[in-house]
Amino acid sequence: MTNTNPTTSPSLKTYTQLCWAMMKTGILGYGGGPSIIPLIRYEAVTKHRWLADEEFGEILALANALPGPIATKLAAYLGYRLKGSLGAILSVLAHILPSSIAMLSLLSAVNYLSHSVIVRGMISAVAPVIAVMLGVMAYEFGERAVKGLGRKLGIVMLLASFALLQLLGVHPAIVIVLFLAYGAMHFKLLGRLQRTKSTHNSGQK
């Protein structure tokens, strides 16, 4: 009869890693959902390898199209992906509870902290770090888009998304749905175009 130590159980280890990873992203994620995305990506893709980078990008796009905070949606998906419904519940709780408790604890000191020179200095110091993290992630996703779609079409799609979001002010959810619809048809359209081109070339010969 084998004696199994529950502390070394792979299942328990996964729960522990998942909760600890989500706690860290909830505590360290400054500035709301967008700033937390690189932290969740690091834990899920780079550190623990729970998801492939491509899957994370797809889930991020889908989560952006759904209502609600992006970080909690990613936490719920990650927990469900690893450990089903219980994993999703624990993942979301681990993500939101530490910051919720901290926020409730600091409510009595809000007026003081809002005028504190130290706090303003901390906010100013951390802002460039968040900007760099988001920039690096955006560059990597853009590079992957160019590789997947081809250089010319990838650049066109990047410029089109920038124009829709920044110049025309289209809602991000609408832009994501439009690009998802095109992505679903991309390879079919590409195959049809190549067949037409080869037929045209063979006809000329």
Distance CA 13, CA 47 (A): 15
Q: Which pLDDT score is estimated for 200?
A: 59
Residues of the chain scoring pLDDT < 70? 1-9, 30-33, 110-111, 113-114, 193-194, 197-205
Pull the structure tokens for residue 166: 């920044």
Q: Whole-structure pTM over 0.85, yes or no? A: no
User: What's the Cα-to-Cα distance from 162 to each of 25, 46, 155, 166, rounded to whole Å?
Assistant: 28, 28, 11, 6
Whether the Cβ atoms of residue 65 and residue 173 lie closer than 8 Å to each other: yes
Distance CA 171, CA 169 (A): 6
Distance CA 31, CA 69 (A): 12
**Helix 172-204 with 53-65: angle, nearest 10 deg:** 120
Q: Which pLDDT score is estimated for 88?
A: 93
Distance CA 150, CA 194 (A): 14
Q: Which pLDDT score is estimated for 4?
A: 42
Convert the pLDDT of each residue in 61-101 to its tens digit.
Answer: 888 777 788 888 999 999 999 999 999 999 999 999 988 88
Q: What is the mean pLDDT of the chain?
A: 81
User: What's the Cα-to-Cα distance from 131 to each of 30, 128, 197, rounded to whole Å?
Assistant: 11, 5, 44
Pull the structure tokens for residue 65: 């199209």
b/e burial code for range 147-172 (CB count within 10 A of at least 16 → b): eebeeeebeebbeebeebeeeeeeee
Distance CA 94, CA 87 (A): 10
Q: What are phi and psi of 9, to 5 degrees?
A: -60, 130
Distance CA 60, CA 40 (A): 11
Distance CA 70, CA 64 (A): 6
